[in-house]
Amino acid sequence: MSRKLSRSNTPEQSGKMQHSVAQNIQYGQPGQAGAARMAAVTAGPDLARVVHFLLNLTTELGNAIDPNTPNPHLNMILHLLRSHSEGRIVSPSSMTAAAGVPYATATRKLAELQDSGVIERRPRTRSGKSYSLHPSAAFLEHFSQLADRIDRMARSTFDMSQSATGATDYYFGGSYQAGRAAIAPPSALPAPLKLSGGLRILVHGDPTFMVMEGLKRQFEQMVGADIHQRAFSIDRLREEALRNAERPKSSYDLIAVDLPWMGEFVEQGVIAPLTDVMDVSRLDPADFHTAGWRATHWGGRPYGVPSQTTPELMFYRKDWFARDGLEPPVTTDAVINAARHFHDPRRGRYGVAWNAARGTALGHTFMMTCAAFGQPIIDIPEIAGGYDADNLAQGGFQPMLNTERALQAADYLMQLLDYAPPDILSMSWYERVRPYGAGRVAMAYGYTLLAPYFELDPNSPAKGNTGYLPHPYGPQGAPIAPVGGYALCIPTNLPEERLEDAVEALVAFTSPAAQKLYVQNGSRTAPRYSVGADPEVRRLSPIFGLVDQMSWRDELQFWPRPPIPQISEIISICGHELHDMLRGIVTPRDALDRVQARAEKILKH
């Protein structure tokens, strides 16, 4: 392992090679040769699996055979590759410690590896006195080929029949489920990002993005740059994104966009089309849940990458329902009956919790409830499986907020009010799930991203006792799970010199490996099929398998909140007028007539 790489792979030539690759990339669009090179140097599941196998093998041999001579070159290389695949920084001192030989010998052997082109140094300070060590692009390609040969030799030696027992996958770190390999941890980028001041991201202050904040150091090691993340509530996030668009230069490299804002942000020039800044095929679009990926489009073009795909579902205490002999509440009538059954305020127990706070929260609730009764809020055409929300850019739509189905939805909310906690009119995104997690509510409407409040709380009575359903539907509705979540987007006013690195960060943060890491650290959103199918992810929560099934059944839909440019105003109108309805100030019919009239004026302009 100590022999030099070929002449073209010396440090000087390797640097030229990487520079050439970078020159072929136009904001994330590598040329044919460049794309192949970049793919080759990314640590994949096979490389990580073989490194893990070799580490275990060398440990076993070292402990079993005496006398034994350590191989410092191999020990340091395996330590470097494992750290690279896990996104951990490697220092010279950690390399010499991993060598397994005296310090002076380890230092000499480390210098030999650097001279041979296996290792490259990256400065960690402006002075360059402090630096980290990384496998060179040329060596990663070389070792990837070696890992493939080792993998095939091991399989042919230990499993000649390629039996269906899955034994081979087990021995080399694969899945217990035949045919499904676990996604490898995120690996460090082949070259660090060179962003002055670090990577700047604008996000929503929800559990998934807070998980990302908690993993900040690991992601900084992965991208080779400092990360500065600003988090806002949903309304303030929209305001800040719109303000940022008015600046001569964007204050952020990436911004999180709520899916219903997509049309507004495109029409106002807030975000750039992905097709203008990168090769979209790098994202593997087919791996995203169909509804989540389609929701990032406007006028047929993608403008963001799903960072979260979090449908709103009905959470219910399946242990309570089973104990009392009740079926899961799949219809709105069943919800009312179950809520009435469990509602017992004298014992501090309530039937159902939901978003009823004035403004944005209640506006979203009403639109999704209309969808449960088979009613979109605008006159988009009906198609198989729902309504056509792919052609909203053509405009010319009329609101449908005072129809008979909309009235049924409003009446349903009035009935829910009778079996809700006493503070329901101030409950929004998080407040509705907290009493459910505390065991005081039988059912709650909630996004999957809120499930950690009880799934990860060992003291929550709802932990392990929660069932998940699409939205219960009315007489003319069908089971649907309205898709929520955020897409990461590139601001249109991002300075050109930051664009290429912003795209690399976008690809890295939305990759299957990164998404799996979010899940392993508490997130309950997975926008990719591959992440939801990962056996390690499936073991963490039933949500992932259920959401995948909903997607395959075409129950995940984004038309309940159509991302037309005027959607935020209409959401606000609904949230204010219907709050007056819930307070008894106006009747449901009067509230809907007022919403319809105001929405018509907005859509005309």
**Which domains, and CATH codes, for the chain?**
7-171 (1.10.10.10), 199-309+485-519 (3.40.190.10), 310-483+566-604 (3.40.190.10)
DSSP 185: P
Phi/psi of residue 18, nearest 5 degrees:
-65, -35
**Maximum separation of any 2 CA atoms in the chain, in Å:** 89
pLDDT band at 30 (very low <50, low <70, confident <90, very high): very low
| Comparison of pLDDT for 577 and 59, the residue scoring more | 577
What type of residue sits at position 14? S
Does residue 142 contact residue 135 with C-beta atoms inside 8 Å? no
- Written as six digits, the tokens of 291 are 């509804």
Length reported for the chain: 605
User: What value does the mean pLDDT of the chain take?
Assistant: 85
DSSP 445: E
Task: Give the lowest-confidence range in 137-146, 268-277, 399-408, 426-435.
Answer: 137-146
Ranges of H-type helices in 124-215 = 137-158, 167-171, 207-214
Q: What is the DSSP string of 28-58?
A: S---HHHHHHHHHTS--HHHHHHHHHHHHHH
Average pLDDT value for residue range 2-7: 42
User: How open is the CA angle 510-512-513, to the nearest 5 degrees?
Assistant: 100
Phi/psi of residue 59, nearest 5 degrees:
-65, -45
pLDDT band at 157 (very low <50, low <70, confident <90, very high): low
User: Quick one: which H or E segment has residue 482?
Assistant: strand 481-484
- Dist. CA 380–CA 221, nearest whole Å: 46
Does residue 372 contact residue 336 with C-beta atoms inside 8 Å? no
- Dist. CA 48–CA 144, nearest whole Å: 9
DSSP 271: B
pLDDT for residue 397 is more than 80 = yes
pLDDT for residue 65 is more than 90 = no
pLDDT for residue 152 is more than 90 = no
| Comparison of pLDDT for 476 and 14, the residue scoring more | 476
Does residue 262 contact residue 303 with C-beta atoms inside 8 Å? yes
Per-residue model confidence (pLDDT) at position 161: 41
- Dist. CA 463–CA 193, nearest whole Å: 41
- Dist. CA 414–CA 583, nearest whole Å: 10
pLDDT band at 16 (very low <50, low <70, confident <90, very high): very low
pLDDT band at 22 (very low <50, low <70, confident <90, very high): very low
Q: What is the pLDDT of residues 94-139, one digit of tens each?
A: 888 888 889 889 899 999 988 888 888 877 666 667 788 888 878 8
Task: Burial-class residue 194 by CB neighbours within 10 Å (0-12, 13-18, 19+).
Answer: exposed
| Comparison of pLDDT for 115 and 16, the residue scoring more | 115
Does residue 304 contact residue 295 with C-beta atoms inside 8 Å? no
Average pLDDT value for residue range 68-88: 82
The three-state secondary structure class of 367 is helix
- Dist. CA 339–CA 343, nearest whole Å: 6
- Written as six digits, the tokens of 593 are 């007539």
Q: What is the DSSP string of 196-210?
A: TT-EEEEEE-SHHHH
The number of angstroms, rounded, from the C-alpha of 484 to the middle of its chain's C-alpha atoms is 12
pLDDT band at 70 (very low <50, low <70, confident <90, very high): confident
Per-residue model confidence (pLDDT) at position 563: 96
What type of residue sits at position 131? Y
- Written as six digits, the tokens of 437 are 């997690």
pLDDT band at 179 (very low <50, low <70, confident <90, very high): very low
Q: What is the pLDDT of residues 180-203, one digit of tens each?
A: 568 888 888 888 999 999 999 999
- Written as six digits, the tokens of 185 are 């941890």
Q: What is the DSSP string of 532-598?
A: HH-HHHHTT-THHHHHHHHHHTT-EESTTS---TTHHHHHHHHHHHHHHHHTTSS-HHHHHHHHHHH
Contacts 24+ apart (CB under 8 A), 92-95: 92/131, 92/133, 95/133
Q: Tokens 């593997």 label which residue? A: 284
Task: Give the lowest-confidence range in 154-163, 216-225, 264-273, 492-501.
Answer: 154-163
Does residue 237 contact residue 258 with C-beta atoms inside 8 Å? yes
Q: What is the pLDDT of residues 293-319, one digit of tens each?
A: 999 999 999 999 999 889 999 999 999
The neighbour count for residue 322, using CB atoms within 10 Å, is: 13
Per-residue model confidence (pLDDT) at position 329: 97
Average pLDDT value for residue range 485-513: 96
| Comparison of pLDDT for 359 and 66, the residue scoring more | 359
Does residue 207 contact residue 38 with C-beta atoms inside 8 Å? no
Per-residue model confidence (pLDDT) at position 354: 97
Beta bridge partners of 122: 132
pLDDT for residue 205 is more than 70 = yes
pLDDT band at 29 (very low <50, low <70, confident <90, very high): very low
Q: What is the pLDDT of residues 338-389, one digit of tens each?
A: 999 999 999 999 999 999 999 999 999 999 999 999 999 999 999 887 899 9
Q: What is the pLDDT of residues 468-479, one digit of tens each?
A: 999 999 999 999
The fraction of the chain above a pLDDT of 90, given in percent, is 63
Per-residue model confidence (pLDDT) at position 81: 84
Using only C-alpha atoms, what is the Rg of the chain? 27
pLDDT for residue 7 is more than 50 = no
Kindly give the interhelix angle for 588-604 and 567-582, rounded to the nearest 10 degrees. 160
DSSP 428: -
Q: How many CA atoms lie within 13 A of 161 on its CB side?
A: 5
Buried b (16+ CB within 10 A) or exposed e, 252-281: bbbbbbbbbbbbbbbeeebbbbbeebbbbe
pLDDT for residue 245 is more than 90 = yes
Q: Where are the beta strands (DSSP E) in 251-357?
A: 254-258, 297-298, 301-302, 305-306, 310-317, 350-353
Per-residue model confidence (pLDDT) at position 126: 66
pLDDT for residue 33 is more than 60 = no
pLDDT for residue 452 is more than 80 = yes
Closest-CA residue to 168 (of 291, 53, 91): 53
Task: Give the lowest-confidence range in 29-43, 65-79, 502-516.
Answer: 29-43
Per-residue model confidence (pLDDT) at position 40: 38
Q: Tokens 């809907």 label which residue? A: 592
Per-residue model confidence (pLDDT) at position 46: 60
- Dist. CA 509–CA 528, nearest whole Å: 13
Task: Burial-class residue 219 by CB neighbours within 10 Å (0-12, 13-18, 19+).
Answer: buried
Closest-CA residue to 310 (of 455, 448, 488, 471): 448
Q: What is the DSSP string of 484-514?
A: E-EEEE-BTT--HHHHHHHHHHHHHHTSHHH
* pTM, rounded to two decimals: 0.72
